[in-house]
Amino acid sequence: MVESTNQLKALVAPMELRRGPQAPYQRGLGGLTDHLTAMPEGKTPLWWWILFLPAAFCAAVVLPSMLTYLISTGVGVWGNNVPVAWGWDIINFVWWVGVAHAGTLISAMLFLTRQHWRAAIGRAAEAMTVFAVMCAGLYPAVHVGRVWFAWWLFPIPLTTGMWPQFRSPLMWDVFAVNTYLIVSSLFWYMGLIPDLALLRDRAKTRVRKFLYGLFALGWTGSARQWHHYEKAYLVLSGLATLLVFTVSSIVGMDFATSQLAGWHETIFPFYFVAGAVFCGFGMVLVLLIPLRKWCHLEDIITLRHIDRVCKMTLMMGCVMGYIYVMEYFIAWYSGSPYDAWVFGHRLFGHYYWFGGWIMIGVNALLPQLFWLKKVRQNLPLIFIIAVLINIGMWFERFTIIVGSLYQDFLPSSWHPFYPTWVDACTFLGTLGVFFTMYLLFVRFLPMIAVSEVKAITPQADPHHPLGGAKGGHP
Amino acid sequence: MNGTAYGLVAEFDSPAAVLRAAEKVRDAGYRRWDVFSPFPVHGLDKVMGFKNSLVGWFALVFGGATFIGCMLMIWYMNGYDYPILTGGKPMFSPPQALVPSYILLVLMSAVGAFVGMIVLNRFPRLYHPLFKHNRFALVSRDKFFLVIETSDPKFSETETRVLLESAGSTHIELAME
């Protein structure tokens, strides 16, 4: 017996190799709850108003006026024209879908792979997904031109007797984006139910009690409810993980199935998924670095979380670098003069040569700074890199779309692309929608999944002394 | 107190305590009882003898039916009712219809899982007798409750109370309907 205990002791990992706690446990479950509900229950802080008012102005005034102008006049108010028939609308669509992807990857894929640290940032990332997909979905809906016929995209019996053409990836987009919006909203809302019940139980006013209670659906936290809930959460994570790989693949196929040099590439579905996740990680960092400070969540979203997101950003940056190299290699190896032309002009072209340099410099080279631990712990620097990554990924889409379209096969149809002020204001409007929604979410809902974070504390483990276990080892 | 009693509510301070109590209640042969906690407690499923949740079947049936339905729909629309010849390809072939069918499979499976969770938990149920119980609001904070309903055939206010006390409950109270 003594011998076996000694053997067991020998098996215990040395101190420096043991894992730290996944969540802070000095406070206990009650203290943790008070801390995490402070933002939705407290007074509105000043910084919130300073950010919210301009964002709400863009969302409530700028965007509706731009859309009214666009729909009443025509798509010509944008810079789109032949040969560049896809301009900022599709660039921004792809960019927003990309921003969304990292949220699903963090909340669903890291759940399936049992990365418990994701509990602290999963909710915030998933909210980012839902709001980004809303902004993304707006663009294809309004860029069709005659918006009042957009319902023809759905398979509804018409008097013309015609049906949608299901061979077209543009058709698949309609289904993919709507599916993504519905599934990520369901996933996000389901995760919220136990926390809505928490806010209901703590509510001081009747209005709050009624509203939180209504959306909590009558959650009591019984073992039977948790049993079905956990299963549903697992199934939804599996399905949302599928969407991480499919939605941007389908967006990539919109391009890849065309005949255009610079678009007609088999790597595109993977390319778009990688770019989407990469861009989304940038947005996660942009949102979380200020919010963890302003909402006093430094010990919930710790430097270790930021460090891990930085490492994943680094990995995706390397994947982007690989894809860029591969694109150039294939452009040369294919022997197609059109491909060689497009890719040569991405770096040394007539109008948009800067796009290629920004793309390679920001997306492939800049993240290499994350190899250094000092950079991964320097929050202002990470924030700047993350903002640049978002800008870099926007220019990547610009380079792919405009850079390939404006000089296609026939020199007689070449024409440069210039965006208009309507393009810029529409984009500003969608940014306003995103940040308005996000700020409302941070203010009125728990941006940290309280029940999930509690579940990974030692106090929640019935086999841990802090969880009440008798004679267990720490 | 007026009205009929709903059950005995026993409060616990830690997940291990409520897990041990659940084992005792199960061994004592009670049937209509439940445990309430701020997060899922590990091992409770086994103690309470839950079988695999049916939520997965909801997802499978919703998703599978949608996949088959969507394949048939595309065949009907593009291959039969209004055939469109594009590039000399067959009027209908499964790979052509795969992507929209697959995407809708994901959509409806997710809806199925959500609906399954709602139906199996009988949501929305905005009223519950325990909501009237003063201390029960702490269930979403840091307390754990074990409730034995009065409708349990073995229920007896005195004996059940003794059992819950011996299981280490810090606070026991009768909740009204």
Distance from CA of A8 to the nearest CA of B (A): 24
HSE (side-chain half, CA atoms, 13 Å) at A10: 6
> How much is the mean pLDDT over chain A?
90
Q: Six-digit token pair at A363?
A: 């997306």
Q: How confident is the model at residue A473 (pLDDT cuts 50, 70, 90)?
A: very low
Report the SS3 class of residue B90.
coil
Asked whether the predicted pLDDT for residue A23 surpasses 60, the reply is no
Residues of B in contact with A201 (CB under 8 A): 137-141
Interface test with A, best of B12, B121, B127 (most A CBs within 10 A): B121
Contacts of B174 (CB under 8 A, 6+ apart): B1, B5, B7, B8, B9, B157
Instruction: Locate all alpha helices (DSSP H) within chain B, ordered by sequence.
Output: 15-27, 44-48, 55-74, 94-120, 157-166
Give burial (CB, 10 Å; 0-12/13-18/19+) of B108: buried
Segment holding B147, helix H or strand E: strand B144-149
Report the SS3 class of residue B6.
strand
d(CA B20, CA B31): 17
Of B139, B122, B157, whose CA–CA distance to B6 is shortest? Answer: B157
pLDDT given at position A9: 57
The residue-averaged pLDDT of A38-47 equals 93
The residue-averaged pLDDT of A82-110 equals 92
Residues of B in contact with A232 (CB under 8 A): 53, 55, 113-114, 116-117
Fold classified for A27-143+167-460: Formate dehydrogenase/DMSO reductase fold (1.20.1630)
Asked whether the predicted pLDDT for residue B88 surpasses 90, the reply is no
d(CA A235, CA A319): 29
* Helix axis angle, A119-143 to A268-294, nearest 10°: 120
Of B35, B29, B32, whose CA–CA distance to B16 is shortest? Answer: B35
Q: Six-digit token pair at A68?
A: 């009214």
pLDDT above 90 covers a percentage of chain B that reads 66
pLDDT digits (tens, 9 = 90+) for A131-157: 999 999 999 999 988 999 888 888 999
Asked whether the predicted pLDDT for residue A196 surpasses 90, the reply is yes
- E strand residue ranges, A195-282: none
Asked whether the predicted pLDDT for residue A440 surpasses 80, the reply is yes
Closest chain A CA to residue B107:
A179
Q: Six-digit token pair at A402?
A: 């405009």
Q: What are phi and psi of A323, to 5 degrees?
A: -65, -40
Domain range annotation of chain B: 5-50+131-176, 55-120
Q: Could you identify the residue written with the tokens 């996949």?
A: B67
Other C-beta atoms lying within 10 Å of the C-beta of residue A4: 8
Read off the DSSP letter of residue B172: E
Q: What is the predicted ipTM? A: 0.94
Distance from CA of A213 to the nearest CA of B (A): 7
Distance from CA of B118 to the nearest CA of A (A): 9
* Rounded CA Rg of chain B: 25
CB contact under 8 A, B36 and A223: yes
pLDDT given at position A457: 86
Read off the DSSP letter of residue A21: P
Give CA A329 to chain center in angstroms.
Answer: 30
Q: How confident is the model at residue A170 (pLDDT cuts 50, 70, 90)?
A: confident
Give the class (CATH, top level) of B5-50+131-176: alpha beta
The residue-averaged pLDDT of A409-428 equals 94
pLDDT digits (tens, 9 = 90+) for A345-363: 999 988 899 999 999 999 9
- Residue A28 region by backbone torsions, left for phi larger than 0, else alpha for psi between -120 and 50, else beta: left
Query: How many beta-carbon contacts under 8 Å exist across A and B?
Result: 206
* Cβ atoms of A217 and B123 closer than 8 Å: yes
pLDDT given at position A168: 87
d(CA B165, CA B155): 15
Angle formed at CA A380 by CA A377 and CA A383, multiple of 5 degrees: 95
pLDDT given at position A27: 75
d(CA B126, CA A192): 16
d(CA A454, CA A442): 19
Give CA A430 to chain center in angstroms.
Answer: 15
d(CA A172, CA B70): 13
Nearest to A451 among B39, B77, B86 (CB): B39
Report the SS3 class of residue B41.
coil
| First-residue to last-residue Cα distance in chain B | 11
pLDDT above 70 covers a percentage of chain A that reads 94
Give residues 113 to 142 of B whose Cβ lies within 8 Å of A: 113-114, 116-118, 120-121, 123-128, 130-131, 137-142
Of A305, A267, A262, whose CA–CA distance to A287 is shortest? Answer: A305
pLDDT above 90 covers a percentage of chain A that reads 74
pLDDT given at position A474: 42
pLDDT given at position B40: 93
Q: Chain A within 8 Å of B44 (Cβ-Cβ)?
A: yes
The residue-averaged pLDDT of A460-464 equals 85
Q: How confident is the model at residue A160 (pLDDT cuts 50, 70, 90)?
A: confident
The residue-averaged pLDDT of A104-121 equals 89
The residue-averaged pLDDT of A29-45 equals 91
pLDDT given at position A472: 47
- The residue type of A113 is T
d(CA A49, CA A53): 6
Q: Could you identify the residue written with the tokens 């990309």?
A: A98
Contacts of A60 (CB under 8 A, 6+ apart): A432, A436
* Cβ atoms of A103 and A126 closer than 8 Å: yes
- The residue type of A20 is G
